[in-house]
């Protein structure tokens, strides 16, 4: 599974969104975490301009302040390979619990909890779960 995390310092420029989209498509990301979006609202049109709209879903925290000049987190995922089981959006963090379809290793499926904070830290907990047995794993 490929996870890209990037402090993009704003999504206002069409040229910047085009460059970001080229990079995300070329890298074949499954989950994309963008920090400092400086966007009050994220919609399908914006997601499409960044990564394409087909097989994509997202959750976000809006930027803060009167002029929306700071903050904002956007987590996007490819729904063909990643299922978000649960998401929790706080004031300064987003947590998602995922199931990755492509993470099979000898009958195992990958489960992961990811938390992204506005200061750029990613916290993760990873488990390997068999189709009938619990296997121990960790990060």
For 48, the domain range is: 3-135
Can you give the pLDDT at residue 114? Answer: 64
Can you give the pLDDT at residue 123? Answer: 60
Can you give the pLDDT at residue 109? Answer: 56
Can you give the pLDDT at residue 48? Answer: 93
> Are the CB atoms for 112 and 100 separated by under 8 Å?
yes
Q: List the chain pLDDT tens, one digit each, 139 residues.
A: 788 888 999 998 999 999 999 999 999 888 899 999 999 999 999 999 999 878 999 999 998 876 667 889 999 999 988 888 888 888 888 888 777 765 444 444 556 666 655 555 666 655 544 333 333 333 3
Please check if 110 is assigned to a binding site: no
The HSE-up count of residue 131 (CA atoms within 13 Å, CB side) is 6
What the block records as the tokens of 89 is 């959006």
Please check if 41 is assigned to a binding site: no
Total domains in the fold of the chain: 1
Can you give the pLDDT at residue 75? Answer: 92
């Amino acid at each position: 599974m490929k996870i890209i995390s990037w402090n993009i310092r704003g999504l206002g420029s069409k040229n910047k969104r085009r460059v970001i989209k080229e990079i995300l498509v070329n890298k074949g990301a499954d989950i994309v975490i963008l920090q400092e979006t400086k966007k009050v609202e994220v919609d399908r049109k914006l997601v499409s301009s960044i990564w394409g709209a087909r097989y994509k879903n997202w959750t976000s925290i809006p930027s803060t302040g009167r002029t929306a000049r700071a903050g904002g987190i956007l987590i996007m995922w490819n729904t063909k390979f990643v299922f978000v089981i649960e998401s929790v959006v706080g004031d300064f963090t987003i947590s998602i619990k995922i199931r990755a379809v492509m993470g099979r290793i000898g009958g195992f499926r990958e489960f992961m909890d990811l938390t992204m904070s506005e200061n750029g830290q990613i916290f993760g907990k990873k488990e390997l779960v068999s189709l009938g047995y619990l296997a121990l794993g960790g990060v």
